[in-house]
Structure 1
Amino acid sequence: DFTITPEGEVLENGQYTGQTIDIRFEDDVRNLVNEGNGLFRTADGTELPSAIGNGNVQYVLRQGYIERSNVDVARAYTDMLTAYRSFEANQKVLQAYDRSMDKAVNEI
């Protein structure tokens, strides 16, 4: 059984194990490349600076919490509207096809 303190120290059965979680950060997320499974790397392969001991970076580790989504809301909304418009266009095509088939069947 282990615990991680808000400072990143790893405790096992309440005792410090000598291990600390290494927190690294990037100021501009556009410099990160998604590796999948929640892992990222820098585009140029450089090592990210550590947040531990850096007075300019504020962080708190919370064990058992789920972090907030990294979803770009504006992009997701735009994508949703694009999909909706495509659906509407396809729906109108199908309605026109249905009317032409109805006319062909009823007038022949």
Structure 2
Amino acid sequence: MLKELYTAALGMLPQQTRLEMTANNLANANTVGFKRSGIFEQSLIEARENLLNVRGDAETEDLPISQYVDFRPGALQKTGNPLDLALDGADTFFVVLAQDGSEHLTRAGHFTLNDQGMVITPDGKMLLSTNGPIRIELPQQGDTTNGDTVARQIQISPQGELQLNGQFVAQLRVVQVGNTQTLQRSSSTCFQPTDDTDIRELDAATIRVQQGYLEASNVNVVSELISMIQLQRMFELGQKVIQTNDGTLERSIDIGRFTS
């Protein structure tokens, strides 16, 4: 009877993980460049087999549940904004620099100019060129031209060459990752390489940038909603099994007390 309780309880843990993951996917369905998370089905099979042999000393850390990131590209959305950029290929990334000096890889190409003329992400990370952070010369104080006007004058070629009014400013730094599953998610749309990550710096001849486009999230809302409904039902079933066995255990204890 205790075995059934352990089996039901531990069987709910993978479903809880999947529920949390699915909820996060749905929350980021409209986040530019977001990549959905999933769980390897083999991990679920192994978890089930382990639960069949569970003992009283089982630990939740023993559950072999491993997540992965689905790097399939999302649909391209035309915006017409000069600093909205999209990359061809699922294994290529822009490189951005955080305030703590760490580099991150991202497919989310929604950039803007800050008041220092730096090209940044919505959370303040700086877009990198092959020579470091990209800075656009802004008009002097008192000039009627503002940053938005300057941004509209930026041209970025398919090869990643950034120009302002026809003058070269910077070459975008774009990298290709050999095995994207070696990347570690650092935020909703950013990733960091690990020791196992093979990164190749791309030159202008192999870069394909689309200016005025954004890559949408690759989350399929309908599929995720169906998955969530199924998971909730399975979770509720596990709860009922626990409640049933708990009631049976209590009655057994009461009988034992009475007979003793």
The bucket for the TM-score relative to the shorter chain is: 0.5 to 0.7
Give the aligned partner of residue 103 of structure 1.
none
Identity %: 25
2:160–2:204 contact (8 Å) kept in structure 1: no
Equivalent positions of 1:21-100 (< 5 A) are 21-44=172-195, 48-52=199-203, 59-71=207-219, 76=224, 79-80=227-228, 81-83=230-232, 85-86=234-235
Q: How many residues align?
A: 85
1:64 is matched by which residue type in structure 2? G
CA drift of 1:66 comes to 1.2
1:79-99 superposed Cα distances (whole Å, 9 cap, x missing partner): 423135446x5xx9xxxxxxx
Higher relative contact order (CA 8 A, sep 6+): 2
Task: Note the aligned Cα RMSD (angstroms).
Answer: 3.5
Name stretches of at least 5 consecutive residues in structure 2 with no aligned partner: 1-149, 241-260
* 1:7 aligns to 2:159 (yes or no): yes
Amino acid at match of 1:65: Y
Structure 2 contact 182–197 (Cα < 8 Å) conserved:
no
5+ long unaligned stretches in structure 1? 93-108
Q: What's 1:100 paired with? A: none
Give CA-to-partner distance per residue, 1:24-60, whole Å, 9 cap, x none: 1212211101111522111228672112257xxx542
